[in-house]
Structure 1
C-alpha cells in the first residue's frame, strides 16, 4: 500500500490456510477439481460412555484431523437447512487405524500378552507409569463392528516405524464397554486418542438420542464443507452397565439362589463410600433364564438377587439342571434395558 494523492494497492491471491495454492508446471494456479481439494477433513463422531464429570449430552463428542490443519466449525440441523454452530475445533485430533486385528481380551486386569499396533498420521504417544494410566492418562477409543466404542487404557507406547505405534500394558473394556470388546476389532478399525482435542458437541439435554445432520466447515474464507453426517449421541452415557459377579447355588430345598452386584456410571470410582450412588430413580433388573439362547423364564425384580424355586425349574426344564445359564440387565429410565451380563452357573 502506497499513500499519496492517490492510494495505490498491489495484491496477489493465495489460498486461505497454511499454504499457498499449488501451481501447474507453467506457474499458473492449479484449478480445484472439487471441494475436497481445499477441505477434506477426517471427522469422527463418538457416542461415548461416562468418562468423568458432566451430563450424558457431554459424552457425544467429535474429533477431526486435516493436513494442513485449519480450525473448523461443527454445525447441526434437524433437516437440510438452518444449521446452527455447535462447537469450534482448534486442535487436530489423533485419529488412527489398527494395523492388525484385535481380539477380545480380559477385563478388570492388565492384559500383558496382547498389544495394539496403531497407525497415526499425526502426533505421537508416550508411555506413562501405571498410576498415571489408572488415573485417566492414555485413553484410546476403538470402534467395534456394532458401532459401540471400546475404551482402552495403555501404559506402554513405542514407535516401531514412522507413524506406527505399539501399545502395551493394556486395560481393556474400561467404563463398561465389555460389549464393544467382545465384538473384536478388525484391521483398519478407527481409533481415536481421547484428549482435549476431542470435544463435546454441545447437545442440549432434550437432544440426547435425537438424530441430526452435522456439517464441518473451515473457519475463515476457505471454501468447502464436510458432511452432512447423520449422528445421534448421548444414549451410551445413559445406558445402565452390565452387572458383575453373577453367582448361584442350590439350597437343600432344591431352589437355586441367584445373586449379582450392581455397577454404576456416575461417581462410582471411590473406595471410601459404603455404597456407590444409584444411577436410576429406582433399582430394578430383568433376569432371563436361558435354554441355549432362548429365555424360558423372564422376571423383573427390585433387588440384585432372585430365588428360582424348584417347581419353576421343573416346569421350565422338566428336571433339575446341573448348570443354569442366565442373563441379567439393569433397567433404566431413559434406556429401558441396560447392557447384558451372561453367565453359566454350575450347581
Structure 2
C-alpha cells in the first residue's frame, strides 16, 4: 500500500513532518489507484447466475443466505451407460444409452453452514426438504480448514494429486444423470446458507479486513466479489458509506460523526477568504432523474429484482446499481431512494483553501465548515504552492434506514423546455491545427431550463431551400451584452475595465478563475466578435453578471476590441457546448440557420451566421518600427501565426501558411503604391521620406489577407 511505503520514506527523510506528508501523498495514490471513487456500480447480477469453469475465475465470499451459480473446479468426461433390453422370442434387442457426469462446484471462499435448494436449468434439482429430483450422489464441503479430500476426486486423480480445497466451500456431484438436461451438465445454482441470520454490512466489511463505523444496514445475503475495491464499492453503494484509510487500515464510514471544525481563512494569493470556502452546485440535471437497484428477491426464489426511485424536475439521466445482495422489495426500494437522494445532495461541493494545519486531514475525514450547515466529507485533497485545498461534499444528516419503504422522490420545480436560442459565430482557432474551412459554430440554449437539444436546418441561398445540419450540442451558457467592455490593450490584463452581461436564464451561472486557470483556457467567452477571458464574475442580481479582470483580444481577435454594443451576444466558450457546422462557406458569406425543437414556433425567424475569416486568415503583424540607417529608413515588423499560440522560448512560431508573403501599402500625399514582399521588412530611401507617409502591412495567408497593421511616419526633415 502506497500510504505505508511513503509514510516510512517521509519519516526517514523529513522526520515527523515528512512522515505526515508522505502519508497523505500515499493515501491519495491509494485512493486514486485502489479505491478511486467513481460510479458505484457493483458486479452485474449475471455474475452470480451464470456458472463458469474458466481458469482464474474468482470465487466469492458469501454472507447470509444467497443464491449463486458457483464455478466448476473439477469434472470428469461424460460417462456413457448402456443397457440392453429384449432380444428374446424372435424380437431384436434394444440398447439404450444414458449419460452421467461427476463434477465439483466451488461456492464460497468463506466457510458456510450449508446448502438448501439447488436449481438446474431453472428447475428444482434439490427441494427444500433435501430430496433430489434426479438421481445423483452429492457431498458438501463447508470450507473448514481441516476438511478432507473428496474420495471420488482422489480415486480418479490419484493420491497426492487431489487438493482438499480447505477454506473453500464446494459441492461434489457424483454420477448426476443428465438425460433431463439434454445429456449435458446443466446450469446449476445453489441456495447457500453462509450465516443463519441477516448480516450487518459493517460485519461484512470487517470480515474482509476493513473496519466499519456505524454501518448497521442488514443484508439477508451478500456476495463479496473478486477484489476488495469491488466489494467495498458495492457496500458503499448500498449504505451510503465511504472508504477511508489512515495509512494502516481501511475503514468504512457512514453518516455524521466526530468531525473537525474548519475555518477557511483564504490562504494563498488567489483565495477568496469567505469563511465558507468556494461553493459550487452542479445543475439539477447533473444528478440522475431515475435510479434503479438490482438485487436478489427471496420472495421469488432469489431471482433478480429491480426497484426504482425517481425525482421530479429536469434531466433524463438514468443510473443503475447492481447489488450482489439479497433484499426484500421494500428494503430495495428504500435503498434506491436513499442512493438517489445522496446523488442529488452531492451536487453541492465546497473547496477550502487552507494552510499546513490541514495536512492531517485525509480524504474521507469529516469536517464542519464555518457558516455551512451540517457535516462535510473531504472528497479530494491537493497540495499546491504550499497551500492545502480540500474539496468537500455534504454528509447526509442520518444514515439510510434498512426498513421497508414505499420510496420517495426529491422535490424539484417543473421546468419548461421553452424555445431555442441560437448564437452562431466563427470561432477563432483554439488549437495548433490550421483550419482549411471557416470554423463556423453554433451555441444554443433554451428559454426554459428543461431544454436539451434541437435539430438544425441551414440555408445557403437566403432561405430558398433548407438542408439538415445535425443537432445542437449540450446547452450553452449565453446571453446578451448590456454594458460593453470598451477599448483596451490586448497585450495587458484589463484590470480597470469591465463588462455586464445578461444571461438567458436565471439558473445559468458563471464562476471565477485564477491566473493558472485562465492560462489553461478557462472562462473563454465571445462578446460580439471579440474573444476574451474573465477572471472574476459577480452576480448583480437575477440574470445580470459583471465580468472583470479581462484578458482582451484573445487568439487574434484584437481588431474587435471596443466594437461591442449593447445587445451583442455573449457565449461562454466550452468545447462540449459548441456545434461545428459542416458547411462550405466562403469568407464574408452568410448562411441562415433555423432550430427545430419541440417547443420552437413554426414561424421563428432564421438566424444569420456570417464567416468573418478569423479562423482562416493570419493575425495582423505587430511591432511595426522604423529605424534610421544613414540617409535611409529601415521598416520592420514581426509576424504572428494562426497556429502558434503557445509561448515557446527560443523557438519561432510556425508559419501556418503555404509561404511567407506580405502586402505593404504606402500612402504618400495623394499617391498610393502596393508592394509584395517575401520578408518582414523594407528600406525607404531619403527620397521616399520627403513627404509624410502611412504604411499598412498585411500578411498574405493561404486563404487571404490578415487584418492591417499601420505605421505613420513624418517627413524626414520633420523633427516631430
Which residue in 2 is equivalent to 1:43?
Answer: 422
Q: Does the CA contact (< 8 Å) of 1:284 and 1:301 recur in 2?
A: yes
State which of 294, 299, 303 in structure 1 corresponds to 2:675: 299
Partner Cα distance (1:325, 1:82) in 2: 47
Partner of 1:134: 519
Residue 195 of structure 1 corresponds to 574
Q: Counterpart in 1 of 2:487?
A: 104
Question: 1:63-89 CA distances to partner (integer Å, 9 max, x unpaired)?
Answer: 122222141011224345664332312
Corresponding residue for residue 341 of structure 1: 709
- C-alpha separation in 2, matches of 1:259 and 1:175: 23
Q: Is contact 2:626–2:635 with CA below 8 Å preserved after alignment?
A: yes
2:282 matched to which residue of 1? none
Give the TM-score normalised by structure 2. 0.38
Rg comparison, structure with higher value: 2
Contact 2:438 2:613 in 1 (8 A): no
Question: What residue in structure 1 maps to residue 643 of structure 2?
Answer: 266
| Contact 1:244 1:263 (C-alpha < 8 Å) held by counterparts | yes
Question: Quick one: distance in 2 between partners of 1:330 and 1:249?
Answer: 21
Q: Map of 1:1-347 to 2, 5 A cutoff?
A: 40-53=419-432, 55-57=435-437, 59-68=439-448, 69-79=451-461, 80=463, 83-122=466-505, 123-143=508-528, 149-182=529-562, 184-203=563-582, 206-209=584-587, 211-218=590-597, 224=602, 226-233=604-611, 235-252=613-630, 254-272=631-649, 274-291=651-668, 296-314=672-690, 317=691, 321=692, 324-335=693-704, 337-345=705-713
Cα pair distance change 1:222/1:165, threshold 3 Å = closer
CA contact 1:288–1:326 (8 Å) conserved in 2: yes
8 Å Cα contact 2:524-2:534 kept in structure 1: yes
TM-score (norm 1): 0.75
Q: Secondary structure at the match of 2:689?
A: helix
Partner of 2:61: none
| Contact 2:419–2:601 (Cα < 8 Å) also in 1 | no
1:126–1:142 distance in 2 versus 1, CA, 3 Å: same
Distance in 2 separating the partners of 1:241 and 1:101: 23
1:128 to partner: Cα distance: 1.0
Aligned residues: CA RMSD: 2.9
Q: Using the alignment, how far apart are the partners of 2:437 and 2:516 within structure 1?
A: 29
- Partners of 1:163 and 1:39 lie apart in 2 by 17
Structure number with the bigger relative contact order (C-alpha 8 A, sep ≥ 6) is 1
State which drifts further: 87-96 or 281-290: 87-96
Judged with a 3 Å threshold, the aligned counterparts in structure 2 of structure 1 residues 295 and 167 are, in CA distance, closer, same or farther, namely: farther
Give the corresponding residue for 1:9.
Answer: none
Question: Distance between the aligned counterparts of 2:600 and 2:652, measured in 1?
Answer: 54
The answer to whether the 8 Å contact 2:456/2:596 transfers is yes
**Structure 2 CA distance, aligned partners of 1:249 and 1:112?**
33
Distance 1:233 1:273 in 2: 35
CA contact (8 A) 2:442 2:581 kept: no
| C-alpha contact 1:285 1:303 (8 A) present in aligned 2 | yes
Distance 1:90 1:334, change over 3 A: closer
2:524–2:533 Cα contact (<8 Å) kept: yes
How many equivalent pairs are there?
295
Aligned CA distance change for structure 1 residues 280 and 117 (closer, same or farther; 3 Å): same
| CA displacement, residues 41-74 of structure 1 (integer Å, 9 cap, x when unaligned) | 2211101221225535472100122222141011
Structure 1 residues 222 and 99 mapped into 2: Cα distance closer, same or farther (>3 Å)?
closer
3-state SS of the aligned residue for 1:296?
A: strand
Q: Could you say if the C-alpha distance between residues 297 and 310 of structure 1 is closer, same or farther in structure 2, counting changes exceeding 3 Å?
A: farther
Q: CA deviation at 1:104?
A: 1.1
Cα deviation, 1:149-170, whole Å, max 9, x if unaligned, reads 1011111112122221111111
1:39 is displaced (CA, Å) by 6.2
Q: For the residues of structure 1 that align with 2:446 and 2:527, how far apart are their CA atoms?
A: 20
SS at match of 2:646: coil
